[in-house]
Amino acid sequence: MYCYRTMNASLVPLLTTSITDRSARGIAGGVGRLISAGQLAVGTRLPTVRELSKELGVSPTTVSEAWQTLAAVGAIDARGRQGTFVRQPTGPSSPRRYRRVTEGPGHFSLDLSTGTPDPALLPDLGPVIARVSRQSLTSSYLDQPVLPELAERVRADWPFTPEELTVVDGAMDALDRVAGVVVRLGDRVVVEHPTFPPLLDLLELLGADVIGVDLDHEGMRPDGLAAALATGASAVFLQPRAHNPTGITLTAERGAQLAAVLAASAASIVEDDHSGDIASGALVSLGQWLPERTVHIRSYSKSHGPDLRLAAVGGAGDVVSAVANRRLLGPGWSSRILQAVLVAMLDHRPTIDAVAAARDEYAARRRAVTAVLAGAGVGFTGTDGINLWMQVADERSALLTLAAQGIGAAPGEPFMVRVDEPSLRVTVGNIDNDLAGYAERLAEAAGNIPARSGQR
């Protein structure tokens, strides 16, 4: 039961002063930040929709939409005639964007919607597991969460010197746990536009006010980042290479520009290097410039095997330590058996060669497909990784055209922070034969449209 409090006279001035953006999203974010800061305590009775709309000078519909957003994350509780009250946020019940990508119309002879690696290009685990199985794998609950051999190996390959390092159960587990530390209800959070749908679902669950910053061929645009930080954004999430969905890799020059913009703020930086060693581009980390504020995530799923379920998290000591300490109250650690397998794979010459061969093959497949698209005048982005962001005249029509030919692709809308030009994400890394033929089908599905400025 809540102990409900009567709305006091100072509440409306507090809300009107704190809410600088009078859109529905801005109102929801402003109220959310007040809840996170404790200025609106659990049980506080909020103004009615009509009262607040009058004070803010907006329509009741706008405030109603803001209230619906806050209710979706469990931050407020509408109780009919009793009023609307602040409550402890619980998050929305369904990852709606993720489901849009994964719940296609059916089975395909060639499914290019997955964003996952080609199983045929993953290294053979058999010899490595056989080697590891002869070792003593008996561990104590009191052992260190990260095998010392793995920690040493990962630190040697880290893009900057991390203050702390831990291992969790994959990239999304890492993003979930890091976001839980650096993001509070109502916080303004910067992401690339477009970006990975589960990240948007996660930030929505946390009640963040998400700001999308456009990309060009070098990475996130510095002017867009500066504008977003000027609104008081507290965290920036980005993918430094083989960006999903666009295939863009951050250049060293752009990395320096972004670091210079971020240096004037206090925002946390979270990097998701999800493709790891199958990315062709050089890794540029903002931790090279801002190591004390950067958390870097390195996943081994796409390069060494999705069922390894391992990702390293290293960088800002306060954040990484908070992640590791919180895990002590849950799983405690990621399987040391799987960690031992990964250590063996990282130093196993046949595995190293297999990952390098996969990287070259993915790059060749991408080049073959994009050559056909470019010749057909179809706009696309990026040069790296297994995914391609392709411009289409009409998203639904393009998906249906491809589905009729047994080809699956991911709709673009779930990747977008805001409404933008219709596009598809196509996992071209999974086209293992007749590359030109499948590329021609993609071009036909795109429709007769000119490429957008800055693409290819």
Q: Are 192 and 238 in contact (CB under 8 A)?
A: yes
Cβ atoms of 213 and 206 closer than 8 Å: no
The pLDDT value recorded for residue 10 is 65
Q: Which residues pair with 408 in a beta bridge?
A: 111
Is residue 230 included in any domain, yes or no?
Answer: yes
For residue 243, tell me if it sits in a domain.
Answer: yes
The residue with tokens 């908070």 is 322
Is 236:271 a contact under the CB 8 Å cutoff?
no
Are residues 358 and 286 part of one domain? no
Beta strand segments in 121-267, E = 164-168, 188-193, 209-216, 219-220, 235-238
Q: What is the pTM of this model?
A: 0.83
For residue 267, being part of any structural domain is answered with yes
Residue-number span of the structural domain to which 276 is assigned: 126-347
Low-confidence stretches of the chain (pLDDT beneath 70): 1-10, 89-94, 102-106, 134-140, 142, 448-456
Residues 302 and 400 in one domain: no
Q: Residue 315's domain is classified under what CATH number?
A: 3.40.640.10
Other Cβ atoms closer than 10 A to 142:
5
Q: Are 43 and 82 in contact (CB under 8 A)?
A: no
In a domain, 2, yes or no: no
pLDDT confidence of residue 82: 80
| Count: domains in the chain | 3
The whole-number pLDDT of residue 135 equals 67
Domain assignment present for residue 25? The answer is yes
Are both 306 and 171 inside the same structural domain?
Answer: yes
Residue 3 falls within a domain, yes or no? Answer: no
pLDDT at res. 51 = 85
Alpha carbon distance 287, 308 (integer Å): 26
- The answer to the question of residue 1 being in a domain is no
Q: What is the pLDDT of residue 142?
A: 67
pLDDT, one tens digit per residue, over 89-137 is 666 556 777 777 766 555 789 999 999 999 999 999 988 988 887 666 6
Q: What is the Cα–Cα distance from 384 to 244, expressed in whole angstroms?
A: 10
Query: Are 71 and 103 within one domain?
Result: no
d(CA 26, CA 50): 17
Q: What is the pLDDT of residue 338?
A: 92
Contacts for 335 with CB less than 8 Å, ≥ 6 apart? 309
Same domain for 406 and 337: no
Peptide bond into 194 cis (omega under 30): yes
Could you tell me the sign of the dihedral formed by the alpha carbons of 238, 240, 241, 246, in that order?
positive
Rounded CA separation 309/9 (Å): 53
In a domain, 250, yes or no: yes
Q: Give residue-wise pLDDT tens across range 256-277.
A: 999 999 999 999 999 999 999 9
CATH number of 66's domain: 1.10.10.10
CATH number, domain of 436, equals: 3.90.1150.10
20-24 long-range Cβ contacts below 8 angstroms, 24+ apart: 21/231, 22/56, 22/57, 22/58, 22/62, 23/62, 24/62, 24/63, 24/65, 24/66, 24/69
List, in order, residues 6 or more apart from 381 with CB less than 8 Å away. Answer: 215, 217, 246, 247, 248, 388, 389, 455, 456
Q: Are 380 and 368 within 8 A, CB to CB? A: no
Q: How far is CA 116 from CA 113, 257, 302, 406, in A?
A: 9, 31, 7, 18
Do residues 30 and 44 both lie within one domain? yes
Question: Is residue 282 located within the same domain as residue 301?
Answer: yes
Pair 307, 415 in one domain = no
Q: Residue 85: which H helix or E strand, with range?
A: strand 84-86
362 and 341, same structural domain?
no
Query: Which of 347, 370, 391 is a domain's end point?
Result: 347
Whether 171 contacts 301, CB under 8 Å:
yes
| 203 and 159 share one domain | yes
User: Final residue of a domain: which of 347, 370, 392?
Assistant: 347
pLDDT at 164: 97
Same-domain pairing of 109 and 212: no
**DSSP labels for 155-195?**
HHT-SS--SEEEEESSHHHHHHHHHHHH--TT-EEEEEES-
Query: 131 with 261, same domain?
Result: yes
Q: Which of 347, 375, 394 is the last residue of a domain?
A: 347
